[in-house]
Structure 1
């Protein structure tokens, strides 16, 4: 029973991936030479800047020499602020950090002020399944609308890019690859009715609706990025679902693994997509699926096993029995969701990512390995006595 509880806890995390304006903290540019940047971008606001994806976006922007303003919920939290300041110290861009909270609409006016572009990555995530879906959906929708209203009031914002998810397109389909024309249907039940997935769906839909409702004089350009399950090296020490899942796999936290699949994408491609969506004229008004390929949970474990087993880590390759999951689904919500997606491989059409944004996805299998090495090197996963480090060619 302990093994099954561990399995269900892991899947419950996977199926719900996470993820007042005060004084500013400014980090000046380092000595690196700046990469190409768009001179039409004066200042970029990145919301939720300390997050796994957002910090990678901030790093890429700073590397290209942009002036970046990042929001965090508290400037007094060194775990959130110090890694971002460290990024700024070794890149040619300039970083300013301010406090803002999705649940406090009044904080966004000053955060947005003076920005020409906004990359909205912040989204509330429930660490426990809420009794009422509105506990998750309402803050996600209201937070997104608060940011958009602040952009309208500022009058300086040219384009907003919102981080959505493949969850707003669909999460368990087998008849064809899903495209940007698809939308999740919560009436199907199962994973598509999970509060987190509904929150991503509704936040994106309400954002498009808000933009369409604006008078022409108030309108600004808008597009959304829809990444798959994000993996890849972490540029700062922060918590994220994908980091937690890879850690669980590496330390053998799941003796039995589920027969479920996800579409994966490298965080570096996700960061690149946000910047392309910010700068490319043809990106305005569109949705973009940012994905590489679908891998089963066992594929992921096997990839990590082959690279790290002889270095003292113990990913399991044993599949959980389907019959037990079916029985447990009668009274356990996580088991019920797992049972619905058991053996289902959902695929997504990433042709717009390639043809419009010009991004050829990195191999997510290498991204998994890079991620695990970064977690070991940063101390998120304890370094084994047998650890040899990255292989050199």
Structure 2
């Protein structure tokens, strides 16, 4: 066991739990921030499900991104911080500041506290949302050199991720001192769930498996396995070449929802009998979006494919993620295993 300590923010989150488990497995002491200590039991149970006994190497502290209190205690004595916590809404808020302000201010709170505590390096979980949106359609793969254009008609969530990451880099340039920063920009995070609490993206697989869609809209997006996203965070935390860099995290090029449906049907057989085989006409999706605001973003993205390259993470950090097919399959298998799908 080494004697270095890592703070993982938002320990009850889908990705954060995996980051905690992998850091413990690598021999670090881990402290994690939670909004309420009532979450400790569930987090410990989830980590044990991964096969990692947490014991005394894992400790908990209460801190909230909307308040300064708790953060000095959270970072005290830490060598590294993985800032994974971030607001992710089930529905887009009417006032975009409801998302933007906590995302940006929360990030700056953590960075300030980390700098004061002389933390060596902070790794922030940003998103592909801060890279590939608001641009005209292109076949060129997006890379870490790209930034989302928030004036290009993007959602409040995408704006919040972009502005929060921009604020982090600006802070480091102005007042970061000797502390180092790395940023991970994952696409939609999938992979095995450990129980009923999981990333919002997993609901897409749930809906397909439950037969909640009459067909698949012409949506395409890249996926990354939660285990590989956590692995990339740990590589970025310690690799010399990761300081001052951002890294896209994806299993590969985007899949269409229809591709995902085909994978589920092929790999899971009878268990995927409710997965739709039809592709929905674009006009039917647009019509539904007129009366269901939650579908507007889907309608806006019909037929759009945002290619991206993960060559940088592979080259600089030796990162080798699982395939998109394995990621999708293991997500559905875990939902079945934990009884999280409707039995029809």
TM-score, normalization by structure 1: 0.81
User: Residue 124 of structure 1 is aligned with which of 64, 68, 87?
Assistant: 87
Question: SS of 2:327's equivalent?
Answer: helix
Matched residue, 2:122: 160
1:251–1:331 CA distance, 2 compared to 1 (3 A):
closer
In 2: Cα distance, 1:226 partner to 1:147 partner: 18
- Per-residue CA deviations over 1:107-137 (Å, capped at 9, x if unaligned) read 2111111101000000012333211100100
1-side partners of 2:231 and 2:100: how far apart?
28
Give the C-alpha shift of residue 203 in structure 1. 0.6
Structure 2 counterpart of 1:60? 22
Equivalent in 63, 71, 86 of residue 108 of structure 1: 71
Q: Given the alignment, which residue of 205, 214, 238 partners 1:255?
A: 214
- Partner in structure 1 of residue 149 of structure 2: 185
Is residue 202 of structure 1 aligned with residue 163 of structure 2? yes
> Which residue number in structure 1 is paired with residue 132 of structure 2?
170
Determine the C-alpha separation between the residues in 2 that align with 1:236 and 1:357: 30
Root mean square deviation of aligned Cα:
2.2
Question: For residues 207 and 251 of structure 1, do their structure 2 counterparts lie closer, same or farther at Cα, with a shift above 3 Å needed?
Answer: same
Contact in 2 for aligned 1:262/1:296 (Cα 8 Å): yes
For the pair 1:140 / 2:97, whether they are aligned, the reply is: no
Deviation of 1:76 after TM superposition, in Å, equals 1.6
- In the alignment, what sits opposite 1:276? 235
1:318 to 278, 283, 298: 278
Larger deviation, residues 234-243 vs 105-114: 234-243
- 1:42-62 per-residue CA deviation (whole Å, 9 max, x = no partner) reads 100000111111111111111
Where does residue 243 of structure 1 map in the other structure?
A: 202
- SS of corresponding position for 1:143: helix
The corresponding residue for 1:73 is 35
Aligned counterparts of 1:64 and 1:92: Cα–Cα separation in 2: 12
Mapped contact 2:12–2:39 kept (Cα < 8 A)? no
Q: Would the aligned equivalents of 2:47 and 2:53 in 1 still touch at CA under 8 Å?
A: no
The answer (yes or no) to whether the contact 1:59–1:87 under 8 Å persists in 2 is no
> Which residue does 1:18 correspond to in 2?
none
Larger Rg: 1
Task: Assess if the C-alpha contact under 8 Å between 1:65 and 1:91 holds in 2.
Answer: no
- C-alpha separation between the residues in 2 aligned to 1:55 and 1:77? 12
Tell me the distance in 2 between the aligned counterparts of 1:61 and 1:153. 23
Q: Which runs of 5+ in 1 are unaligned?
A: 1-33, 385-393
Q: Kindly indicate whether residue 112 of structure 2 is the aligned counterpart of residue 149 of structure 1.
A: yes
Aligned to 2:300: 340
Report the number of matched residues.
340
Residue 87 to residue 97, structure 1, CA distance change in 2 (3 Å): farther
CA 141–302 in structure 1, closer or farther in 2 if over 3 Å, else same: same
- Give the deviation of 1:227 after TM superposition: 0.7
Using structure 2 for the length normalisation, give the TM-score: 0.92
Partners of 1:235 and 1:211 lie apart in 2 by 35
Deviation at 1:375, TM superposition (A): 1.8
Say which SS state the counterpart of residue 189 (structure 2) adopts. strand
User: Do the aligned partners of residues 260 and 206 (structure 1) sit closer, same or farther apart at CA in structure 2, a change above 3 Å counting?
Assistant: same
CA separation in 2, counterparts of 1:237 and 1:219?
A: 41
When residues 380 and 246 of structure 1 are mapped into structure 2, their CA distance, relative to the original with a 3 A threshold, is same
Query: Is the CA contact (8 Å cut-off) linking 2:139 and 2:307 kept in structure 1?
Result: no
Q: Give the corresponding residue for 1:30.
A: none
- Kept in 2, the 8 Å contact 1:162–1:224? The answer is yes
Distance 1:328 1:77 in 2: 38
Match of 2:187 in 1: 228
Query: Displacement of 1:81 after TM fit?
Result: 3.6
Q: CA deviation at 1:255?
A: 1.5
Offset from partner CA, 1:354-390 (integer Å, 9 cap, x none): 1011112211111111111112212323567xxxxxx
Task: State the alpha-carbon separation in 1 of the partners of residues 40 and 170 from structure 2.
Answer: 37
Deviation at residue 82 of structure 1 after TM alignment: 4.2
Which has the larger displacement, 333-342 or 45-54?
Answer: 333-342
